[in-house]
A and B are shown apart, each in its own frame.
Chain A
Amino acid sequence: MTTLVKSRVSTNVLSILAAAFIGIGIITVAGHVQAATLHDAAHDVRHATGFPCH
């Protein structure tokens, strides 16, 4: 029983961490990666959201 509860909790924590990891990836791509096309497309949002730009 204890093992069952423990494994359910750790599965939950793992799936939560996975979601957070995807979020960090999105913020990095949308806000920080400097590839020219990406930078130009996200330019105005990066400035307006306070990301370091240029």
Chain B
Amino acid sequence: MFQKVVTSALIAGFGAGLIAALLQFAFVQPILLHAELFETGALTHFGNGQTQAHVATEIAADLTRDGLSVIFSALTYCGYALILMSLAALAQERGHAFSARTGLIWGICGFIAAQLAPSFGLAPELPGMSAGELEARQIWWYATVILTGAGIWMIAFGRNWTMWGIAIALLAAPHVIGAPSADVLTGPAPPELAAEFASRALTVGLVAWCCLGLFLGALWTNQDKAGAA
């Protein structure tokens, strides 16, 4: 069982991580690099009359930096894949079959738990954005991911309103309590960049998680077939 979970997770995670990295380079990285020019002071917003809207496309690719991004993207999605695959295997032990079709739903739910719900309180950060204390944000992030994951699990597998009621409370709790926020707003980057960055980071995340769920389901059922043959 361990080997089956890990094999499916590593292959699917690596594939989804590569897709996420490619989408990141195409759509997210240019905004990030542009924002870094404001973070370092090379560009200023409202400072010198006008702010150029198309600078980042001229910045040359940094091979070491981008190579590390590929590695860490693959690593991150392998980590997520191990957790998602474990939960799906646990559900299958309890009689809920896991396949590519249900894998897609698992992937979307994983995206909601690990990216969408935390971003409701902590929007994907553009470099240079002001934010609350790091440690507090990390604790809130972990708590939100765990509570949202538990809430989604209870909605999916709960059988009565007591379970669903508890699920709604778990899903709402982190946002009712609220995420740690910055005391002062001094971010140097234009809000146009921050908004575009947040929506693109989330959309790339959704695509990567959908791929992750699909790959996991396909590999899982494939191993079943190989085992049965």
A26 touches B131 (CB 8 A): no
Counting chain B CB atoms within 10 Å of each CB, the highest count among A9, A17, A22, A23 belongs to: A23
- For B73, the closest partner residue in chain A by CB is A45
Are A16 and B5 in contact, with the CB atoms below 8 A? yes
Chain B, 182-216, contact with A by CB distance < 8 Å: what is the 0/1 string?
00000000000000000001101100000000000
Task: Please name all residues of chain B whose beta carbon is closer than 8 Å to the beta carbon of A51 when the two chains form the complex.
Answer: 141
Contact across chains for A12 and B72 when beta carbons are under 8 A apart: no
Query: Residue A13 contacts which of B9, B93, B122 (CB distance < 8 angstroms)?
Result: B93
- In the assembled complex, the Cα of A9 lies from the Cα of B69 at a distance in Å of 39
Q: A19-B82, A20-B82 are in contact. Are A50 and B69 (CB under 8 A)?
A: no
1/0 contact trace for A19-52 toward B, CB 8 Å? 1101111110111101000000110111111111
Contact flag A19-B5 (CB < 8 Å), given A27-B76, A45-B69, A54-B125 = yes
Contact A30-B86, Cβ < 8 Å, known A15-B5, A23-B9, A44-B24? no
Tell whether A11 is near chain B: CB-to-CB under 8 Å: yes
> Does residue B29 face the partner (Cβ distance < 8 Å to A)?
yes
A26, A45, A48, A50: the one within 8 Å of B118 (CB): A50
CB-based A-B contact count at 8 angstroms? 125
Q: Could you say which interface size class chain B belongs to?
A: 35 or more
Closest to B83 in A: A23
Interface residues on chain A, size class: 20 to 34
**In the complex, what distance in Å separates the CA atom of A8 from the CA atom of B21?**
39
Q: Are A23 and B93 in contact (CB under 8 A)?
A: no
Residues of B within 8 A of A31 (CB): 76, 79
Q: How many angstroms from the CA of A15 to the CA of B122 in the assembled complex?
A: 33
In the complex, the answer to whether B93 meets A45 with C-beta atoms within 8 Å is no
The reply to whether B205 and A23 contact each other, CB–CB distance below 8 Å, is no
Report Cα–Cα, A20/B83, bound state, in Å: 4
The answer to whether A23 and B86 touch across the interface, beta carbons within 8 angstroms, is yes
A45 CB to nearest chain B CB (Å): 4
Q: Is the CB of A12 within 8 A of B205?
A: no
The 5 closest A-B pairs by CB, nearest first: A23-B82, A26-B79, A15-B2, A20-B86, A52-B137
A7 CB to closest chain B CB (Å) equals 13
Q: Is the CB of A15 within 8 A of B72?
A: no
Minimal Cβ-Cβ distance residue in B for A20: B86
From known contacts A49-B115, A54-B131, infer whether A16 and B76 are also in contact, taking CB-CB under 8 Å: no
